[in-house]
Amino acid sequence: MNKCGDGSAFGCAVENFPWIITGLIVIVLGLVAFRLFLYLRERWPRTKPATPQPPRTPPKPTPAGTPVQPTPKPPAPPPPKPTPLLVRISDPPDLKLASFKGDAGVQNDFADVLSAVALAAQGWKQLQSKYHGERGIDGLFVREVRGGGGYECLAIDSRSNTSNYDPASMSDAKLAADIAQLYELGAFPKQTADELMRGLHQGSSFFRKELWRHDLSSGLTTICELGRQGEKGRSLTRSNARLMSALFLSLEHFDRSAIYLGQQPLDNEPD
């Protein structure tokens, strides 16, 4: 019995045409997929099975000293550790009168310079204070008072070793006369002279007087407060040994002809 619609073979073919087309498409897709699989299989990297490697034998050590293995240099010794210098020095200056050519006046002048240098290191400014050689004040100094809006004054008498001290030389009356004389000689202007006089009359608040005695052998300096009549009061002692030595050596080198101090510098000695 013919199941086609029109009862003919052509009618059957027309009726089954969509199924034929679908089958062809499936076959074509299958072929394409198979061809793609073959292509990818050819392109896929093939891993070779790992070949077992024989164990490596370590190279035999080459003895040192051969051309292949030169003898290693020994490490350099570390540098020596720095250590302090082992020198012997003597702090006391051990200066004697003979160090000043036996001249006591030169020795006392050295004491004046020593006091001035020590006070300058403390911020004091020295004023002109001597006239006619030894007359006047050994040292007259001023220093600014912190937050005080002005200055303080210090008058000192410098002595070396055991030289005599006369209290009258540092009395208020003597200092007033010296200040007036210094003003007359033009050491400082009238305003300065007036202020120094005012400070002297006020007392020790802003005008002090001291005796500085330098022991040039031991290097000790004794500083003694002085009253209105030049009398001694409280005192303290400090060491200026290295300052004395340095100052003496510097002046000795400056005094190249050794007229006042010691001996001629080393670079002045004949070859």
Per residue in 167-199, pLDDT (tens digit) is 999 999 999 999 999 999 999 999 999 999 999
pLDDT at 148: 84
Q: Domain for residue 88, yes or no?
A: no
- What percentage of residues in the chain have a pLDDT greater than 90? 59
Residue 129 and residue 14 in one domain: no
Residue 234 and residue 114 in one domain: yes
- What percentage of residues in the chain have a pLDDT greater than 70? 83
Residue 126 and residue 249 in one domain: yes
Domain coverage including residue 255 = 97-263
Q: How confident is the model at residue 67 (pLDDT cuts 50, 70, 90)?
A: low
Domains contained in the chain, number: 2
Residue 25 and residue 108 in one domain: no
pLDDT at 37: 79
Residue 29 and residue 104 in one domain: no
pLDDT at 72: 79
DSSP string, 85-126: -------S----GGGGTT-HHHHHHHHHHHHHHHHHHTT-EE
pLDDT at 49: 61
* For residue 1, pLDDT beyond 50: no
- 138 phi, psi to nearest 5 deg: -55, -40
* For residue 13, pLDDT beyond 90: no
The rounded mean pLDDT for the chain is 86
Q: Domain for residue 46, yes or no?
A: no
* For residue 269, pLDDT beyond 70: no
* For residue 4, pLDDT beyond 80: no
Residue 34 and residue 167 in one domain: no
Residue 161 and residue 247 in one domain: yes
Q: How far is CA 126 from the centre of its chain?
A: 30
**Cβ-count burial of 244 within 10 angstroms (0-12 exposed, 13-18 middle, 19+ buried)?**
buried
Q: Domain for residue 43, yes or no?
A: no
Residue 15 and residue 122 in one domain: no
Residue 118 and residue 211 in one domain: yes
Which residue did the predictor score with more confidence, 183 or 62?
A: 183
Q: How confident is the model at residue 24 (pLDDT cuts 50, 70, 90)?
A: confident
Q: Domain for residue 205, yes or no?
A: yes
pLDDT at 62: 62
Query: Collapsing DSSP states into helix, strand and coil, what is residue 221?
Result: strand
Q: Among 207, 219, 227, 226, which residue's Cα sits nearest to residue 248? A: 219
Q: How confident is the model over 85-96, as a mean pLDDT?
A: 91
Measured distance CA(159)–CA(140) in Å, rounded: 15
Q: How confident is the model over 216-239, as a mean pLDDT?
A: 97
pLDDT at 10: 53
Q: Domain for residue 56, yes or no?
A: no
Residue 160 and residue 251 in one domain: yes
* For residue 69, pLDDT beyond 80: no
Q: Is the dihedral of CA 31, 37, 38, 43 positive or negative?
A: positive
Q: Domain for residue 24, yes or no?
A: yes
Q: How confident is the model over 14-41, as a mean pLDDT?
A: 78
CATH number of residue 107's parent domain = 3.40.1350.10
Q: Domain for residue 2, yes or no?
A: no
Residue 34 and residue 108 in one domain: no
* For residue 83, pLDDT beyond 70: yes
Tokens of 46: 């093939």
pLDDT at 256: 87
Residue 107 and residue 237 in one domain: yes
Q: Domain for residue 271, yes or no?
A: no
